[in-house]
Amino acid sequence: MTSTLAILGAAGAIGRALTARALADGWSVVALDLAASLAAHPPPDKAASVALDLRDAASVGAAFAGLGPLGGFVNLAGFMSPHQPLADTALDTFDEVITGNLRGAFIAAQAALPRLREGGGAMVNVVSGLGGNPRPGFGPYAAAKAGMISLTKTLALEAAPDVRVNAVGPSALNTAFLRGGAGRQETNPAPIDLDAMARATPLGRIAVPADVVGPIMFLLGPDASFMTGQVLWVNGGGYMP
């Protein structure tokens, strides 16, 4: 029987790569994202698509209500704020980033858990190295991702033994995400020097979407059947907690 994988944030660069890999591996995929993002980056014909808005709990609940049992759920949704010190960050900006990332992850997890229990599935949240290793200028986003790490660990304890909940924490990828996030206005310049970051990374390059897809698929699969509440850091050796 084919298992269904729901991918939240499927229209982004990692989401598109993950969709292609999951389909190739025999999963039935449901792509979840903003309607505008799905229109801009429609999933392959073999994948279903469902529009939702993480800011609207009713929208998320309705989207998951129609999915049926899930063998897996991956939350890739998120976005950054402009690069600036916390002292200069407007409250509205902080609230927007926390709402879109941390509150959204909470709403999505609540909606996904019943479907995962029905399908015997696993959840993977995609966080960030900034959640464990904050850097100047990324305060709201780092705080949101640190909260998502704690959320992942609490969910892992509370959903066990029925559902495994883990996270993947990638370093920066040179995608639209660095300029604000897929589905948003990509007007912000990349907040880091990617060439300098590559030189400072032990493996000598910047991550690409495929680097993140592999660990996600591992955590969804049987080889990770005794793992829950963990974070896999994917950063080329740039951060070693």
Residues designated as active site: 141
CB 11 within 8 A of CB 36: no
C-alpha 145/C-alpha 172 separation (Å) is 13
In terms of Cα–Cα distance, which of 37, 53, 55, 51 is closest to 97? 55
Structure tokens at 10: 């499927």
In three state form, how does the secondary structure of 156-188 look? HHHHCCCCEEEEEEECCECCHHHHCCCCCCCCC
User: From the CB of residue 28, how many other CB atoms can be counted at a distance below 10 Å?
Assistant: 18
CA atoms within 13 A on the CB side of 156: 20
